[in-house]
């Protein structure tokens, strides 16, 4: 993601997946439709043409968890059939509640992400009146739909959607108050190279590694279980140190 289209080529995408795994990634998130602000949707056939060849080549060679970033049932079904472990739905079932049925059918996992609007409209929306309440309510509704389809709680992951239809201040608030989602399930957060970091640091996209790591460490301290990043090795190392410090602080003397 945030790749400027360089991984639309299957070989480049496979090579990138291998690099991420060698850097220490526990999970790969593969998507065939950009979700950057202003991006236009693509048809399911094109999305699948981009994703399926990568999945076909990567799946036999790794035991890492493979997540498919899609909200389209046609794409999800084929990728689950090919061995994907998780569906990452950036619309949190708003576009297709039947995604939950598919995930149950294949005994897979489901990531529910909060997003205001869609990628091509989300940056034009007015600020939320109460972003924390909105995120919590929208994800609660999505969880209800998933549970109603028969999905077990341990198959669900929630993502507050940093950078998806939220203002600079709202992004900071969500990360700072991340523990407000503690009771809803494991939390995934994806601050990697996002524009709010660029605004703080005044750095271009490819120079936000340290800012990303800082956001991830803070999010982990606030309860995040999974971080979605470009620079795996660097962020992983910083999280290892943060985890050691946090765990030492909880031990009894």
Most distant CA atoms of the chain, gap in Å: 59
Is 81 catalytic? The answer is: no
Q: Which helix (H) or strand (E) holds 111?
A: strand 109-113
| Active-site choice (50, 72, 222, 228) | 228
Cβ atoms of 67 and 86 within 8 Å: the answer is yes
Buried b (16+ CB within 10 A) or exposed e, 203-227: eeeeebbebbbbbbbbbbebebebb
| Active-site choice (72, 116, 194, 208) | 194
Q: Is the dihedral of CA 89, 91, 93, 96 positive or negative?
A: negative
Buried b (16+ CB within 10 A) or exposed e, 135-170: bbebbeebbebbeebebeeebbbbbbbbbbbbeeeb
Cα–Cα dist 27/227, whole Å: 10
What spatial distance separates the first Cα and last Cα of the chain, rounded to whole Å? 44
Residue positions counted in the chain: 253
Is 194 catalytic? The answer is: yes
Catalytic center residues: 194, 228
């Amino acid at each position: 993601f945030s790749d400027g289209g360089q991984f639309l080529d299957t070989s480049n995408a496979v090579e990138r997946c291998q690099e991420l795994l060698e850097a220490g990634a526990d999970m790969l998130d593969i998507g065939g439709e950009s979700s950057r602000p202003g991006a236009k949707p693509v048809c399911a056939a094109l999305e699948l043409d981009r994703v399926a060849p990568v999945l076909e080549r990567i799946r036999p060679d790794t035991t890492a968890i493979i997540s498919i970033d899609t909200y389209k049932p046609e794409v999800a079904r084929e990728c689950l059939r090919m061995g994907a472990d998780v569906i990452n739905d950036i619309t949190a079932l708003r576009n297709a509640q039947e995604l939950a049925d598919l995930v149950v059918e294949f005994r897979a996992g489901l990531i529910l992400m909060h997003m205001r609007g869609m990628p091509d409209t989300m940056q034009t929306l007015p600020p939320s009146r109460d972003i924390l309440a909105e995120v919590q309510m929208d994800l609660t509704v999505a969880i209800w739909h998933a549970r109603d389809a028969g999905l077990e709680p341990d198959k669900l992951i929630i993502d507050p959607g940093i950078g998806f239809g939220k203002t600079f201040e709202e992004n900071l608030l969500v990360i700072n108050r991340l523990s407000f989602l503690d009771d809803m399930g494991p939390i995934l957060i994806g601050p990697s190279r996002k524009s709010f970091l660029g605004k703080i640091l005044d750095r271009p996209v490819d120079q936000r590694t340290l800012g990303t790591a800082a956001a991830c460490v803070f999010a982990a301290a606030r309860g995040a279980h999974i971080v979605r990043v470009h620079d795996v090795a660097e962020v992983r190392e910083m999280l290892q140190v943060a985890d050691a410090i946090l765990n030492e602080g909880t031990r009894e003397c």
